[in-house]
Amino acid sequence: MLSSCAKKPIERTLPFEGIENGRELGGLVMPDGRSIRHGMLVRSGNLSKASDQDVAILKDRFHLSDVYDFRFDAEAQADPDRIIEGVTITRLSTLPQAFIDGFSSGRADTTQVKAADFVEALTRYAFDSRAQQLAKNLYPAIVTDTLSQKRYGAFLRGVLNSKGSVLWHCSQGKDRAGWGTAFVLAALGADRKTILEDFNQSNIFYAPYVETLSARIREMGGSEAELAFIRAMVGVSVENFERTLDLIDAQYGSLSAYLEKALGFTAREQEQLRNKYLK
C-alpha cells in the first residue's frame, strides 16, 4: 500500500490563505531523470474564497492562464470561483450523473448542506450504508464513466495547449482533482509511487478534520465502516485509489494506455506534454 509515502506536508504545498489543499507539481522527478518545471501546474480546492494574496501568487508567481473546475453545477453555483483577470475558467464536471443523482436524492444528499451543518451531515451519513457504498464506488465510477473520460481528455488537451500555467480543482481538491493529477502525472511518465505520494498529500492536509470527526464517530459507537466513510469523504481513500488503479491496469494494461484508449489522449500528445513540462 502506501508505507513509503511521505508523512508530512511537502515543500510543493502553496501558502494560500483562502484556497484549500493547494500544491504545485513542479520539482517531481520522473523515471527518465527529468523533472516537472516549477510554476506551471497547480492543483487545489475551489477558488471561491481566494484572497487577494492568493490571486497575487497565481498571477505573479505562476502567470496563471487557465483554471479547470471539475465540480458539477450545484457545487459551482453554491461556491463560484473568484474571477481572476486574464484567466479562463473552464467547467468540466467529472462526476458521473448517476453518482450525482445518488447524492442528490434521499439521505445521502450532502451537495446542498450549509457549511455550518456539514459536520452534522457527515456524522449522520457515516452510519448510512447507502452513503458508505457510494463512497466506495466513487473512484471506479469516475474512471469508467464515458462522459467523465471525455472531459478528462479535454482537460489534458487543455493542459497541453495552455499559454500559461494551469490550475485544476474540484470542491476540496482531493478526489476529482486527484484523478486529474494522476492523469497528468501518468502522461508525464510518473511511476505509481510518485502518483500515490501526491494523492496522499490530501490526507495530510485534511488530517485535523479527519481526526476530529473520527473521534466523534468513535464516541457514537462507530465501527471501521463508519470511520472509513469519514476518511474517504473528508480525506481520500488511498486503498480505493489503488484498487481503481489496479482495475485500470487489468483492463488497459497501464495508466498511460488508459489515457490513450479511454480518454483519447494519444501517445503523441503525451510525448508533447512531456516536452512542454519536463526539463
pLDDT digits (tens, 9 = 90+) for 189-228: 999 999 999 999 999 999 999 999 999 999 999 999 999 9
Task: Reduce the secondary structure of the chain to three states and give it as a string.
Answer: CCCCCCCCCCCCECCCCCCCCCEECCCCECCCCCEECCCCEEEECCCCCCCHHHHHHHHHHCCEEEEEECCCHHHHHHCCCCCCCCCEEEECCCCCHHHHHHHCCHHHCCCCCCHHHHHHHHHHHCCCHHHHHHHHHHHHHHHHCHHHHHHHHHHHHHHHHCCCEEEEECCCCCCHHHHHHHHHHHHCCCCHHHHHHHHHHHHHHCHHHHHHHHHHHHHCCCCHHHHHHHHHHHCCCHHHHHHHHHHHHHHHCCHHHHHHHCCCCCHHHHHHHHHHHEC
- Tell me whether residue 260 is in a domain: yes
Domain with 103, as residue range(s), is 23-277
- Tell me whether residue 13 is in a domain: no
- Tell me whether residue 4 is in a domain: no
In this structure, what CATH number is given to the domain that contains residue 196?
Answer: 3.90.190.10
pLDDT digits (tens, 9 = 90+) for 151-170: 999 999 999 999 999 999 99
Please give the mean pLDDT across all residues of the chain: 91
- Tell me whether residue 204 is in a domain: yes
pTM for the complete prediction?
A: 0.91
- Tell me whether residue 170 is in a domain: yes
